[in-house]
Structure 1
Amino acid sequence: MKATAGFTLIELLIALVLMGLLMLLVLGGLSVGGRGWEAGERYQQQQAEQYQLQQVLRGLLAQAQNLRVRSTEGEVLLAFQGEPDRLTFVAPGRAGDARTALYWYRLQQDEQADGHRLVLLARAYRAGEPVDWTRLFEAESAASGAEPVVSERHELMALASRQPVLGYQAPNDAADALLRSEWRNEPRLPRRVEVALSGESTAPAWPTLAVALDEYSHALRRRQP
């Protein structure tokens, strides 16, 4: 009687081990691919959020108002104070709609327990109100009889090791002229404001935000026949 050919126990065990190794390789590849896909989606989401943030800032900065305010010392100043790392200005409460109420805004870096963040402070603009630049967004004392200031704080993005760097172009400067690092106590608004981030980060790159102020584009249209 002829014996039927078959697998020995050792051959069966070897086949099972090889199949197990193959499954491990397949699952490992799927895991790496899944993590790569998730990282790509996070990166795309961060880029989309940065784009939306830049659009909001562009709309507000472009509508900076050419207003005069009086300081607490009685000095008449432009309602626009630009520093290398922060900017205070007045603009409509809704970007793109000049008919809405005016607000004070301050773009600056804040230090939090989990790191630095780019924030936007906002509060209602009051015509004729004496301005103290250092306490502009602090609640006024009820004992003074003034209506308390209601300020808002909007966290825009985590900065990690990056720093905000602002630049200002004078109205009469050439387009390729070096930007000024400050715009304080000036008689006119700057023609252009740039917001950049310096330093290294694993977050998507922040393209320099260059905003031409509407004040000058409106003036140009008025001069045209």
Structure 2
Amino acid sequence: MNGRPARSGGFTLLELLIGLVLLAITLTIAFAALRFSGRSLERTDALVGDIEEIRVARSVMQRQLAQARPLIHETPQRRMAFRGEPQQLEFVAPVPAQDGRLAGMYHYRLHFVVAANGTQLVLDYQPYIPDGTLDWREGHDSAVLAQGLAGGGFSYFGQARAQEAEEWIEHWPVAEAMPLLVQVQLAHGADRVPWPELVVPLRAHRVR
């Protein structure tokens, strides 16, 4: 027999301390992994939401703008219903019915609104009034097409002035014709899905 005392079946204090440290490290790694997984899911949900928002907004703008009509208000000024500005666009187009056919004419307004969560792209709409007595302060419905934007704007391509070449401009000044193309540019924040550029050709341009 040697002189060393026999070891009992329990753990020493040092072994218990090492075990507690290893357990704490394991739990820290596990909680970090859970937080990372949660953030990844949140980012994935945000990504899917951005993509769906872009898809719906592009579809609505493309469909309605492509059907814009070169209508003239029945007023002494004979002003066209289409009005193109950098931050606002007004036009008249038929509203699609549920069976796919085109119903009555509606007056639409696309414009940017500053909100708490960033800039919004809003679509206002109401039945078309030929006499030009249009009032956007009341009597219209609205839909938010995009939100949380960093900015955006509209531009127009066509022959803005007689004897001049077609060009891109921010204000559409022609009273008797619509542009050939309308460009919609939107910008999300740095952590959002970038908006692809949207250019819509207008099917009708001049009053016949």
TM range (shorter): 0.7 to 0.9
Counterpart-to-counterpart distance in 1, 2:101 and 2:79:
22
Match in the other structure for 2:119: 116
Answer yes or no: is 1:153 the counterpart of 2:142.
yes
Distance 1:187 1:136, change over 3 A: same
- Residue 210 (structure 1) aligned to one of 196, 199, 205: 199
Match of 2:82 among 80, 98, 117: 80
> What letter is aligned with 2:180?
R
* Of 100, 104, 107, the match for 1:104: 107
Q: Where do 1:58-77 residues align within 5 Å?
A: 58-71=62-75, 74-77=76-79
Give yes or no for contact 1:118–1:159 (8 Å, CA) kept in 2: no
1:155-209 residue CA offsets vs partner (Å, 9 max, x unmatched):
22224431x2211111699xxx641211234322211111002585432211111
The percentage of aligned residue pairs carrying the same residue is 29
Cα distance change, pair 157–184 in 1 and its aligned pair in 2 (3 A): same
TM, length-normalised to structure 2: 0.81
Q: Is the 1:122–1:153 contact (alpha carbons within 8 Å) kept by the matching residues of 2?
A: yes
Alignment partner of 1:136 is 2:135: yes
Which residue does 2:182 correspond to in 1?
193
Paired residue for 1:9, among 4, 9, 13?
13
Provide Cα deviations, 1:72-125, integer angstroms capped at 9, x if missing partner.
xx1112221111111000011228956211100000112345543211111101
Q: Which is richer in helix?
A: 1
**Correspondence 1:126 to 2:115:** no
Q: For residues 169 and 95 of structure 1, what CA distance do their matches in structure 2 show?
A: 30
Distance of 2:34 and 2:188 partners within structure 1: 35
Q: In 2, Cα distance between the equivalents of 1:95 and 1:181?
A: 32
Residue aligned with 1:161, SS: strand
- Residue of structure 2 in register with 1:181 after alignment: 170
8 Å contact from structure 1 (residues 160, 201) kept in 2: no
The match for 1:169 among 157, 162, 168 is: 157
Taking structure 1 as the reference length, the TM-score comes to 0.75
| Runs (5+) with no aligned partner, structure 1 | 140-149, 217-225
Instruction: Call closer, same or farther: CA 1:35–1:114 in 2, change over 3 Å.
Output: closer
Offset at residue 5 of structure 1 (A): 5.9
Instruction: State the alpha-carbon separation in 2 of the partners of residues 38 and 114 from structure 1.
Output: 18
> How many residues are aligned here?
196
**What is the alpha-carbon root mean square deviation over aligned residues?**
2.8
Is the 1:83–1:184 Cα contact (8 Å) retained in structure 2?
no
Q: Which has the larger radius of gyration?
A: 2
